[in-house]
Every structure is written in structure tokens, then in C-alpha cells.
Copies of this chain bind each other. A is one copy, B any other.
Amino acid sequence: MSSEPSIADHAMSELLKIRGSIDNIDAALIYMLAERFKCTKRVGVLKANNDLPAADPAREKRQIDRLRELARDAELDPVFAETFLNFIIKEVIQNHLALRD
């Protein structure tokens, strides 16, 4: 029985280190998302009180173009960035509509 760490041990140790970083990033993402929803909740109240439409396609188009550009700079797949923003916006619009129920 060797005292040298095996390749499998080394891989597992690497895996655990990277998972620690992923967990830190996930916590940051959750707190940023929470702050984003606080902002969009304020937007939702403003829109409901001023009879502005819940969705704003022109604003969404500008957001998507900008995030695709930022994604390219960050070496993130721009298609994924767009899917991600659409996923968030869908949730936001549902929340905006719920404010009018």
C-alpha cells in the first residue's frame, strides 16, 4: 500500500477545492439576485401605480444586447447570457402582474 496520493485522490482533492469556489460564487449570485428582485419589485409598484405596462420590449432588447456584449468580454456564452436574462425577466413580469391582481 503506497503512501503517495493516487491520481484519483488528487482529482478528488482538486474537485473539492473547485466546489468550494463554486459554493462561494453561488452565494454571491443569490445575494445579487435578491437585490435585483428588490429593485424590480420597486419598478413593479411604480408601474402598477402609474398604469405603465408590466413588460417593456424595447428595454428588454437593449438589456439583452448589452448582456451579450458583457458576456463576450467575460468569456461567457452570449446565448446562455440571453437565455439567463429571459429566465429572470419571465419571473419579474409574473411578479409585476401579481401586483395588479
| Residues of chain A whose beta carbon lies under 8 Å from any beta carbon of chain B | 7-8, 11, 14-15, 18-19, 21-23, 25-40, 42-43, 46-47, 49-50, 52, 59, 63, 66-67, 70-71, 74-77, 80-81, 84-85, 87, 91
Contacts and interface: CB of A to CB of B under 8 A. Distances in A.
Given A34-B76, A75-B34, A14 B46 contact: yes
A23 B80 contact: no
Contacts of A37: 76-77, 80
Interface of A is mostly: helix
Contact of A67 (B26, B50, B63): B26
B71 A8 contact: no
A93 to B, nearest CB: 13
A15 B46 contact: yes
Contacts of A42: 14, 18
A84 B49 CA distance: 29
A89 to B, nearest CB: 11
